[in-house]
Amino acid sequence: MKTMSTFPTVMQEFRDQSGTTLWDLTHAQPRLLVFLRHSGCTFCREALSDLQKRRAEIETHGAGLAFVHMMDDADAAPFFAAYGLADVPRFSDHNRALYGAFRLKRGSIAQLLGPKVWLRGMQASIIKGHGIGRPIGDPFQMPGAFLIEGGNIVKAYRHATAADQPDYVQLAAGCTIPTPKRNAA
């Protein structure tokens, strides 16, 4: 895992698919930054599906979404588009420098393949239909979600197992600048 000198430095060095730095993005608007494991992970697919469904609810709290992944943009673009999230800023982190800066570690066998993980995996992949795909990225990397505002972590969720399901709306509720409600007229 590549390491960088400081947290602000790493946020200023990474650019999304449009060329905007993570630093600038979080200064323009609070962001719920979701770190994914690998593209084949059934739990990541489930998370993307949930985030797409709850996106409007997250945004009412004033937070925009952003993702960190380990794919090339050629692989990432259709992957996120399949979940209706192609327009969301995403940061490719092959060397896992952002993962390291946010203190997301590689998982143990129990965190990735324990009995509870297998049970939830069966539920997510077969019952909910999220399937399993070819892993692009480090299959041992643990995920996480962070509410970032002005370059600072406001809330953090670091998964204890790959199967954990954070409440993304609750994480977004920590924004200090909620979006005003729109009139229905």
59 located within any domain: yes
179 located within any domain: no
Question: Which CATH number characterizes residue 78's domain?
Answer: 3.40.30.10
pTM of the full predicted structure? 0.83
pLDDT digits (tens, 9 = 90+) for 39-74: 777 778 889 999 999 999 999 999 999 999 999 989
Per-residue pLDDT at 117: 58
Domain count, the chain: 1
pLDDT digits (tens, 9 = 90+) for 150-182: 999 999 999 888 778 889 999 999 776 555 444
Give residue 14's domain range: 7-172
130 located within any domain: yes
pLDDT digits (tens, 9 = 90+) for 87-138: 999 999 999 999 999 999 988 777 666 667 556 655 655 556 555 666 667 8
180 located within any domain: no
Question: How far from 9 is each of 21, 24, 64, CA to CA, in Å?
Answer: 11, 12, 22
